[in-house]
Amino acid sequence: MKITEVVSELEVEMEESQNQRDKRVEELWKRLDPQGKRELDFKGLKKGLRRIDH
């Protein structure tokens, strides 16, 4: 199997549906904004990223 075929196969396996992507983004947002203010400034973003170890 050629490397391009392997890469193409992996890309297909790694694709996510729009619903899966939306859920993943929503879960990330909940972790970055635990107080549920639905807004995030730069300071809050930095704090949230530290909280999730990024």
pLDDT, one tens digit per residue, over 2-50 is: 888 877 777 777 777 888 889 988 998 888 888 888 888 898 888 888 8
In this prediction, residue 23 carries a pLDDT of: 93
In this prediction, residue 3 carries a pLDDT of: 85
In this prediction, residue 12 carries a pLDDT of: 72
Please give the tally of structural domains in the chain.
Answer: 1
Residue 18: give the domain boundaries.
3-51
Nearest-angstrom CA–CA distance, 49 and 1: 40
Please determine, for residue 1, whether its predicted confidence score (pLDDT) is greater than 80: no
What pTM was estimated for this model as a whole? 0.55
Nearest-angstrom CA–CA distance, 48 and 29: 9
**CA angle in degrees (0–180, nearest 5) for 29-33-34:** 115
